[in-house]
């Protein structure tokens, strides 16, 4: 089955800096890679996703890049704000099976 590794487990940045979270996956047939943000005590929220026919996708301050050859994908957050503080999860799927999640990255943005 699919295995997703996520790094780092914690990331501290100053407000305004950029943050990068990286994930690797094992199943070369995976074709969908979503990112979820989970604030303390709240539900995971889908913030951005990418499919394997696309190398990069942006949505305002967040972007995701995918390298199919190396089987890794990354989340980039620019101009971080304190409200970006949360746990971020990456996930992967083949599309006919369900999502396999990484263990999460706790992002702390200091004012």
Partner 1 sequence: DTGVSQDPRHKITKRGQNVTFRCDPISEHNRLYWYRQTLGQGPEFLTYFQNEAQLEKSRLLSDRFSAERPKGSFSTLEIQRTEQGDSAMYLCASSPPTSGVYEQYFGPGTRLTVT
Q: How far is the CB of 24 from partner 1 (least distance, A)?
A: 14
Of 12-20, 53-61, 78-86, 88-96: span binding partner 1 (CB under 8 A): 88-96
- Minimum distance of partner 1 from residue 30's CB (angstroms): 12
Instruction: Work out whether 42 is an interface residue with partner 1 (CB under 8 A).
Output: yes
Query: Is the distance from CB of 78 to CB of 109 less than 8 angstroms?
Result: no
Query: Residue 55 has which token pair?
Result: 């190398």
Gap between the Cα atoms of 28 and 109, Å rounded: 34
Q: Does 62 bind partner 1 (CB under 8 A)?
A: no
Cis peptide bond N-terminal to 85, omega within 30: no
Residue pair 50/73 in contact (Cβ under 8 Å)? The answer is: yes
102 part of the interface to partner 1, by CB under 8 A: yes
Residues that bind partner 1 (CB under 8 A): 4, 6, 32, 34, 36, 42-46, 49, 89, 91, 93, 95-104
């Amino acid at each position: 089955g699919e295995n997703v590794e996520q790094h780092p487990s914690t990331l501290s940045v100053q407000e305004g800096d950029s943050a990068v979270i990286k994930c690797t996956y094992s199943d070369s047939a995976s074709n969908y890679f979503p990112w979820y943000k989970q604030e303390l005590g709240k539900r995971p929220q889908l913030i951005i996703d990418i499919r394997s026919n696309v190398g990069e996708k942006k949505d305002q301050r967040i972007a995701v890049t995918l390298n199919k050859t190396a089987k890794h994908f990354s989340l980039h957050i620019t101009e971080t704000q304190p409200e970006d503080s949360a746990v971020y999860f990456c996930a992967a799927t083949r599309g006919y099976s369900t999502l396999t999640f990484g263990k999460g990255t706790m992002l702390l943005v200091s004012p």
